Chains A and B, each alone.
Chain A
């Protein structure tokens, strides 16, 4: 089935099997996410991509696109909740951007900037989590794990291994490693595995690569995540710039995509599609 849905007043075409978030991305419309990754099985746990679909709350990364859907993504209410959910992730773990090797390349950080997150809002949990530096090439800093499950899926679906799992219940969730000792060095992960590179935060890092790109020359130092997430999709789809609009009466009150970001951040350098 293919057709068109309407996201915040923008007409978004979709093809067979696409979820709302993928249809949106392909059309250059950004809906924030952390546990999603193009080409991966939908998971739906971070809840950042929560949208209203025909008036009902749903996650854009799991719901199949359907013809005629009316999707609201950037309403003040949804943007507010998205910021709060991001803040929850920040207080749950230990995320110290200034001292993190991933800073500037980190999706969590970039999503927080996108949402104009200026503080943690909630009391910090001061979680006590251990570091696994046992592997010669790969490091796990559990402080930064957000339980997005991407490494679990990458290892299973892409690498044909099952190196990672998520154990525990509720606030006691933890990332675990499939090895007799529980240490990464005794698992069958390889530095070439997709699982070693898929982490959206700095929880799984390839050693000796942290500062190959200096701070200031990293992906999100120059382009907001809203552009980075969509650019590749737009290129692939060969879409033109500019958004075809659908019914203007369905626009959210404070504007279209990224209006919140645009209103609160200095203008990002113009990204030229097809560069």
Chain B
């Protein structure tokens, strides 16, 4: 399967001439091969479009026509998908398509200067394709490398630890049209710094152990263990896992599906990257035991596009499990228990981390969250009962199946049992992965990661909460600070507005646009915040900003809109004086500068006396 591949890593970048002037028959043949590989299943549309994008650097009109006809779907669906996802395009991108991660942590590491330097060296503007078609350069939302940024992507593959000298080499390699396989391997190296392993990361594991324990104990008994563990979803929402699995298992409609949500898009989160990189076997085992419990024979792993570098190795893990009888037919010799897992790639859309949007995406559509009820556990993938769980949830379930619920429930707090993986980045000496029992205070975590002079911490990413230095006794727990794992530290040299603007822009960029308050409101928020930060806001603008926050929060369709105003709301609460200081002291702010507009007239009349100036506001 080529779906995991953006531009083929091994093939020289000098594509065949098909990238310039695709000959009809050549493209027909290619699209046909893509269709065959996807078994003509329209739900694999995203995968097919990824392959087309990699081959032709965009989705050509001819491809749209051919795919629409072959899949019996309207071309509008294909265009809608191509326009929805950041890494699909209707116009050709560069043969080297570069994206630089625009997470706040990348910015703190000097990303803006590096981006400008890169643009200058490559002679291409950000957001554009160079005239010769060799290279295109863009910003992109957090690529999940906050512990080793500034980061980026080239043809979908992760670049880490960018600096001026690396950029010099990259520019050279691009101008020489060197294939990515000839680029220095260290440019693509992804470290997995596990700084503090705990309950789960310290557990030894043998492939099949959790399944064997599950079968030995019994399915209902194992579900009871998951229940008594009080495991709650690690994606942030904290829904009780056993309840989700039990609800799914009793649904009469068949088949049932297991989906592993590996669309870790919350800026500042990278713990799933580490789990998929180092603990994939345990994640797949968690999915498999879930399948046994809910009665499913098909699992899907939705891998975010930014983690393309993991695709091949994950396929190898799946293959090993098939060869060991841990996937496929009659798993572990258990008659009639068939289950397999397919990896599907995203294509750049934060919203697809939301379970129902992810299901839409897995069905080959734009990732627009569904109307609830019904919940996806009742009516999910292909309108069938579906369990969607986070990577870390399956990882924990694997060990609960082996060790039992009590073992897990003894750690943490009564409402938040077990441990939580945190992705720690920002202003600290030791960024990386930390595992803590739930209930751990922020100040302990800051001490461990070597953070001093702390101004604040963003817990849970942009959609989470900004914690000021006065609130460091608060704890990581569903009942206090709920988080999917993003933990960004800011020291006192940081400007809060840089942070809040970065987050607010992020939500405006990632809003799916389905509902009015989020589609229009997130852009209004971005503009209103900018007006105040740039010193053009009056007192009324601050009131307006607060009101707008609540309208977006209270009326939006899904969690994105619900949390899009959080960065402004939480900093307005913790640092009101900062906002007040930005305000103009005048009660009236004209919409345009009359005096500046008269400059042309003054020049023409060749006068610059007092009477040639007009002021709109009395000083």
Contact = CB atoms under 8 A, between A and B. Distances in A.
A81 B516 CA distance: 12
Contacts of B514: 45
A170 B508 contact: yes
A117 interface: no
Interface in A122-166: 122-123, 125, 146-147, 162, 164-166
A165 B77 contact: yes
Contacts of B75: 178, 180
Contact of B76 (A123, A147, A164, A173): A164
Interface in A69-119: 81, 84-85, 88-89, 91-92
B84 A88 contact: no
Nearest to B349: A169
A46 B515 contact: yes
A176 interface: yes
A81 B519 CA distance: 15
B184 interface: no
Given A47-B556, A88-B520, A167 B79 contact: yes
A165 B74 contact: yes
Given A45-B514, A47-B517, A166 B80 contact: yes
Contacts of A167: 76, 79-80, 82-84, 366
Interface string A167-179: 1111111001110
A78 to B, nearest CB: 9
Interface in A33-48: 42-48
Contacts of A47: 515-517, 555-557
A15 interface: no
A170 B523 contact: yes
Contacts of A172: 83, 513
Contacts of B524: 88, 122-123
Nearest to A146: B516
A50 B555 contact: yes
Contact of B520 (A50, A92, A166): A92
A201 to B, nearest CB: 13
A172 B77 CA distance: 16
B421 to A, nearest CB: 30
Contacts of A43: 371
A62 interface: yes
A57 interface: yes
B65 A180 contact: yes
B366 A169 contact: yes
A146 B517 CA distance: 12
Interface in A18-45: 42-45
A64 B515 CA distance: 19
Interface in B490-519: 508-517, 519
A21 to B, nearest CB: 13
B513 A170 contact: yes
Contacts of A46: 515-516
B555 A81 contact: yes
Interface in B181-234: none
Interface in A214-265: none
A177 B79 CA distance: 10
Nearest to A161: B74
B553 to A, nearest CB: 10
Nearest to A87: B520
A216 to B, nearest CB: 30
Interface in A169-201: 169-173, 176-178, 180
By size class, the interface of chain B is: 35 or more
B527 interface: yes
A81 B513 contact: no
A84 B366 CA distance: 27
B268 interface: no
B522 interface: yes
B554 interface: yes
B38 interface: no
B76 A168 contact: no
A224 B557 CA distance: 28
B521 interface: yes
Contacts of A122: 520, 524
Given A168-B84, A168-B513, A178-B74, A173 B557 contact: no
B371 A88 contact: no
A177 B74 CA distance: 10
A50 B516 CA distance: 12
Contact of B79 (A63, A125, A176): A176
Nearest to A148: B516
Given A167-B79, A169-B511, A176-B80, A45 B520 contact: no
B516 A89 contact: yes
B551 interface: yes
Contacts of B555: 47, 50, 57, 81, 85
Contacts of A180: 65, 75
A187 to B, nearest CB: 10
A44 B369 CA distance: 11
A143 to B, nearest CB: 15
Contacts of B554: 50, 57, 81
B80 A165 contact: yes
Contact of B513 (A50, A59, A173, A177): A173
A227 to B, nearest CB: 24
Of A50, A64, A171, A177, chain B has the most CB atoms within 10 Å of the CB of: A171
A85 B548 CA distance: 10
B520 A171 contact: yes
Contacts of B79: 165, 167, 176
Interface string B37-71: 00000000000000000000000000001000000
Interface in B67-120: 74-77, 79-80, 82-84
Given A89-B520, A123-B527, A178-B75, A169 B515 contact: no
Nearest to A179: B75
A146 B75 CA distance: 22
B551 A85 contact: yes
A85 B516 contact: yes
A85 B511 contact: no
A77 B512 CA distance: 26
A85 B523 contact: no
Contacts of B520: 88-89, 91-92, 122, 171
Given A46-B516, A57-B555, A165-B80, A88 B511 contact: no
B556 A169 contact: no
A189 to B, nearest CB: 13
Contacts of A59: 371
Contacts of B517: 47, 85, 88
B557 A45 contact: yes
Given A47-B516, A88-B521, A170-B508, 5 more contacts: A84-B547, A88-B524, A147-B519, A166-B80, A171-B519
29 contacts: A44-B371, A44-B515, A44-B557, A45-B516, A47-B556, A48-B516, A57-B554, A63-B373, A81-B555, A85-B551, A88-B516, A88-B524, A91-B520, A122-B524, A147-B519, A162-B74, A167-B76, A167-B80, A167-B366, A168-B80, A168-B84, A169-B84, A169-B511, A169-B512, A170-B519, A170-B522, A171-B513, A173-B513, A180-B65
Query: Which 9 pairs of residues, A with B, have the shortest CB-CB distance?
Result: A165-B76, A88-B520, A162-B74, A167-B80, A170-B511, A173-B513, A170-B513, A167-B83, A178-B76
